[in-house]
Amino acid sequence: MQTVGELKQAADEQLFSNEYEQALRLYLQVVELQPLHLDARLRIADSLLALGEVQRAAVVYTRLAQYAAHAGYPLRALTALKVLGALEPELRGLVRGVSELYGRDSARLGRSVRRSLPGADEPLPRRSLAPQDPLSDLVEQAERIASDYTHKDALFPDKLMPIPLLSTLDHDDLGRVFDVCGLLRVRPGAVLAEQGSQGRSMYMLARGSVRVERTHSDGRVQELATLGEGTAFGELSFLSGAPRKSAVVAVTDCDLLELSWAALEPAGNVLEHLRPVVAEFARERLLSHVMASSPLFAPLETRQRLDLVKRFVELEVPAGAEIVRQGDPSAGAYVVLRGEVAVQRSEGERSIELARLASGELFGEMSLLSGAGATATVQALEPTALLLLAKPYFDRLLEALPDLRAQLEQLADRRSQQIAASFPGSADDHDFVEVEVLV
């Protein structure tokens, strides 16, 4: 082992192998090298707990929660408090102290910079060795060192950065959320959400990293993103209960806070306040994905994309509704927010389904480009939420970016070939279908 990161990994391997005493020795070595290594301090508490040292573990969890909350790491604080609350139910009320710091009515909230956590690449000193004390002395030493935050760098910022999504709630509502949220602790490789599964829960990553991936019909697995501490996922399923479009897999060992609809529903008016916040978060994240992935928006600068996001309006359509009708001009460019739509083209008595589009997929823009009627009908297969960029804004987009028209015309040529393949002998060189499937 040559770095602190490798030492921490070795400690994790011992912990996962149920070698708790050796894990404790290695974690204690990490903390002595990097006194503000919060992961190692948390794992010292976990190791003490696994060794049956419940009271010593409780002291370490409590001090970690107090420090992390005031240092700008509220989700780490909540992780420690959730474990502590499971050990000592009468201590569950301590989570309210975090809500008072991070509710929207807190005087501590504001723009801030928190101290960075120690880096994993720091080299190990040549003479750095794990403690070799007898176990009785080791657990006492571990409690003392892991609960001591008198280090010169253990400073608190004047202001605390809000918790994404949650700091829009006042401290009373935030406290209710903290009371009922669940804690998931998983190891690397654990599947946190399966593609196609249903469930009205979303998750906030308190520690670790996860990979978002999608398996296509041909078996190809596409990695969509890697998410780190403080990020949320699962918001669309939380809002609608719709099947998950992607899988989420733990890259490292992770601690996550689960916000489930069933747990929040009895908690007063919390859902009433939280739902629109989550909906806006889902909308903005989806549009950001579309902007980054679609050739329609590729030529835009970051500032232009942010401005365009504001121009989309949300529409709700019932199952069976025709959103775009073949032959009629499209009202704008649509993005599927929730639900699913079918794209169908008819010629004579023959009709064929060209595609099914779900969350994050775009349609309607080709009709706008040509100025002609749509070459396919788009119909909602279930109650569906859409985001619409109306035709006037689309026209302004083409005026501002002349090169964009040329790119879209090339895309239209490719689509004419798709239609020709679906309807042999019926599509001329100018036919195209207004479907952009984002993968």
What's the pLDDT tens digit per position in 124-138? Answer: 887 777 888 899 999
pLDDT in tens, the chain (439 residues): 789 999 999 999 999 999 999 999 999 999 999 999 999 999 999 999 999 999 999 999 999 999 999 999 999 999 999 999 998 888 778 899 999 999 999 999 998 777 778 888 888 887 777 888 899 999 999 999 999 999 888 889 999 999 988 999 999 999 999 999 999 999 999 999 999 898 889 999 999 999 999 888 788 888 888 999 999 999 888 888 878 888 999 999 999 999 999 999 887 788 888 988 898 888 888 777 777 766 667 677 777 777 777 888 888 999 999 999 998 988 888 888 888 899 998 888 888 888 888 877 888 877 777 777 888 899 999 988 888 988 888 788 777 777 666 666 666 566 566 656 656 554 444 343 344 332 2
Instruction: Bin 72: left if φ > 0, else alpha if -120 < ψ < 50, else beta.
Output: left
Tell me if 52 is assigned to some domain: yes
Tell me if 27 is assigned to some domain: yes
Q: Is residue 214 classed as helix, strand or coil in its secondary structure? A: strand
Note whether 134 and 241 are same-domain residues. Answer: no
How far apart are alpha carbons 73 and 160 in whole angstroms? 9
356-366 burial, b at 16+ Cβ within 10 Å, e below that, comes to: ebbbbbbbbbb
Q: Is residue 155 classed as helix, strand or coil in its secondary structure? A: coil
Could you tell me whether strands 341-347 and 221-227 are parallel, antiparallel, or unpaired per DSSP bridges?
A: unpaired
Which of 108, 128, 162 is the endpoint of a domain?
162
What's the distance, CA 140 to chain centroid? Answer: 39
Tell me if 176 is assigned to some domain: no
> What count of Cα atoms within 13 Å lies in the side-chain half-sphere of residue 175?
15
Note whether 21 and 151 are same-domain residues. Answer: yes
Tell me if 297 is assigned to some domain: no
Note whether 10 and 77 are same-domain residues. Answer: yes
Note whether 83 and 153 are same-domain residues. Answer: yes
Q: Which residue bears the tokens 């739509």?
A: 341
- Could you tell me the two tokens for 418? 């798709």
> What count of Cα atoms within 13 Å lies in the side-chain half-sphere of residue 325?
5
Note whether 424 and 321 are same-domain residues. Answer: yes
Which of 162, 191, 213 is the endpoint of a domain?
162
Tell me if 289 is assigned to some domain: no
Note whether 317 and 370 are same-domain residues. Answer: yes
Tell me if 333 is assigned to some domain: yes
Q: What is the CATH number of the domain that holds 248?
A: 2.60.120.10
**Could you tell me the pTM of the whole model?**
0.77
C-beta atoms surrounding 371 within 10 Å: 9
Note whether 190 and 84 are same-domain residues. Answer: no
Note whether 155 and 263 are same-domain residues. Answer: no
Residue count of the chain: 439
- Domains in the chain: how many in total? 3
- Domain extent at residue 369: 302-436
Tell me if 295 is assigned to some domain: no
